[in-house]
Amino acid sequence: MEISDRYHSLDAAIYPWFKDQWQRIVRLHNDKHLPHALLLNGMPGIGKARLAEAIAGYVMCHQHQAMAPCGQCRSCLLLNSSGHPDLYFLRPEETGKPIKVDQVRQLTEFMHNTAQQGGYRAVVLEPAESMNLSAANALLKTLEEPGRDTLLILITHQLGQVLPTVRSRCQRLDCHPPDEAVAVEWLCQQLSVEPPEAQQLLKVVHGAPLAGLAFKKQGHQALRADFLTALREILRQRSSPVEVASQFLKADLSLLLEWLQGMLADIIRILLTQSDDLIRNRDMQKMLKGVAKNSTKDKIFTLSDLVQAERLGLQRRQNPNKQLLLERILIDWSALVRS
Ligand SMILES: [Zn+2]
């Protein structure tokens, strides 16, 4: 996720289930009682990293309001754009690998420099349990004396694995997964799904809503990859439209049509600009160029109109004949490159 996405709207970045934690930290900060090291503790997939970043953004804001950063000051603008020079992220170089002592030493160097923007400095370290013994020991002094106007935010998914010497130097902020009703509502909004599907998804991911979101999106990725392969096989005449239609009978048809229409739009872009600079489905570049080269504008526009009409129809009809609908579209797809 890009920094600009995360900070698009900082107050909106607080997940509803972290309201209590947010208010507690904000109050501590406004009362000038914020400790210099926090340990955010909770299961993975519930949004602790974003909470940490939001807390960092709040303390670094030069004119923060009672409950939210101003969004206007230099610090907020930096966070909203390219990133903030006084915000330091420390994570393993590779996922699942330990945080090394050299990385902690680099952090120490950062801590020795004064804040470039004349305000708070913040460090987000994740996950705290991935520091090996020497890395943790190297961090202890910084945890004790980080310097003025500095906030260290450590994140842990496994509190028991964090060294006691590290734990005892941080104030713990327990982060719990949301109640099922809250998580279901949030997932329904994020994924545009109905509550039963969100409930089912939450079961798979033990109630962690962000894990549910990732799971669903990964599922989509696999489906999209399969569908693109199938489209290619049709063009190569290795699969028939009827075979492919039955292969995807159980898939979300509106999703398939959305992807197909996106690809047709790319082919139109190639035809109209005589270049592939503007296409969005980069991973399909070769196939899209091939279709653009071997088809005609008329055929592409006709199919695009058909797909659009069927997408609208799907929203209105209760029980479409999915097999027939997809067959018809795929037959036209295969005909794009045949005279
Ligand atoms: Zn601000």
DSSP string of 224-235, one letter each residue? HHHHHHHHHHHH
In 3D space, the residue among 258, 277, 257, 261 whose CA is nearest the CA of residue 269 turns out to be 277
Tens digit of pLDDT for each residue in 120-130?
999 999 999 99
Q: Domain of residue 154: give its range.
A: 3-176
Q: Are residues 25 and 156 in the same domain?
A: yes
Is 249 contained in some domain? yes
Counted domains in the chain: 2
19 C-alpha to center of ligand 1: Å? 20
Q: Is the pLDDT of residue 106 over 80?
A: yes
pLDDT of res. 1: 34
Q: Are residues 157 and 284 in the same domain?
A: no
115 C-alpha to center of ligand 1: Å? 16
Which residues are bridge partners to 87 per DSSP?
A: 122
Is 120 contained in some domain? yes
Domain end position, chosen among 176, 204, 222:
176
Q: Are residues 51 and 169 in the same domain?
A: yes
Mean pLDDT of 182-200: 92
Q: Is the pLDDT of residue 146 over 90?
A: no
Is 86 contained in some domain? yes
- Give me the interface pTM, i.e. the ipTM: 0.99
CATH of the domain at 309: 1.20.272
150 C-alpha to center of ligand 1: Å? 17
Mean pLDDT of 326-331: 96
CATH of the domain at 70: 3.40.50.300
Q: Are residues 25 and 124 in the same domain?
A: yes
pLDDT of res. 319: 72
Q: Taking the alpha carbons of 330, 332, 335, 337 in that order, is the dihedral positive or negative?
A: negative
76 C-alpha to center of ligand 1: Å? 4
Q: Are residues 115 and 251 in the same domain?
A: no
Q: What are the DSSP calls for 51-90, one per residue?
A: HHHHHHHHHH-TT--SSS--S-SHHHHHHHTT--TTEEEE
Q: Are residues 275 and 163 in the same domain?
A: no
Q: Is the pLDDT of residue 11 over 70?
A: no
% pLDDT > 70, the chain = 94
Q: Is the pLDDT of residue 336 over 70?
A: yes
Is 295 contained in some domain? yes
Q: Taking the alpha carbons of 308, 311, 313, 316 in that order, is the dihedral positive or negative?
A: negative
pLDDT of res. 115: 64
Q: Is the pLDDT of residue 318 over 80?
A: no
Q: Are residues 157 and 246 in the same domain?
A: no
22 C-alpha to center of ligand 1: Å? 17
Q: Is the pLDDT of residue 32 over 90?
A: yes
Tens digit of pLDDT for each residue in 210-269?
999 988 888 887 888 899 999 999 999 999 999 999 999 988 898 899 899 999 999 999
152 C-alpha to center of ligand 1: Å? 19
Mean pLDDT of 310-336: 88
Q: Are residues 255 and 141 in the same domain?
A: no
73 C-alpha to center of ligand 1: Å? 4
Q: Are residues 171 and 247 in the same domain?
A: no
Is 234 contained in some domain? no
Q: Is the pLDDT of residue 95 over 60?
A: yes
156 C-alpha to center of ligand 1: Å? 28
Q: How far apart are CA 62 and CA 77, in angstroms?
A: 11
Q: Which residues surround ligand 1, an ion (CB under 5 A)?
A: 61, 69-70, 73, 76
pLDDT of res. 110: 87
Q: Are residues 115 and 250 in the same domain?
A: no
Q: Are residues 171 and 245 in the same domain?
A: no
Is 258 contained in some domain? yes
**CA distances (Å), origin 282, targets 170, 193, 267, 333:** 45, 27, 12, 19
Give the model's confidence band at 22: pLDDT under 50 very low, under 70 low, under 90 confident, else very high. very high
- When the pLDDT of each residue in the chain is averaged and rounded to a whole number, the result is 89
Domain end position, chosen among 161, 176, 191:
176
Is 270 contained in some domain? yes
Backbone dihedral angles phi then psi of residue 172, each to the nearest 5 degrees = -85, 140
Q: Are residues 74 and 155 in the same domain?
A: yes
Domain end position, chosen among 123, 148, 176:
176
Mean pLDDT of 204-209: 86
Is 220 contained in some domain? no
Q: Is the pLDDT of residue 4 over 50?
A: no
Mean pLDDT of 145-156: 92
Mean pLDDT of 139-163: 93
Tens digit of pLDDT for each residue in 43-80?
999 999 999 999 999 999 999 888 899 989 989 888 87
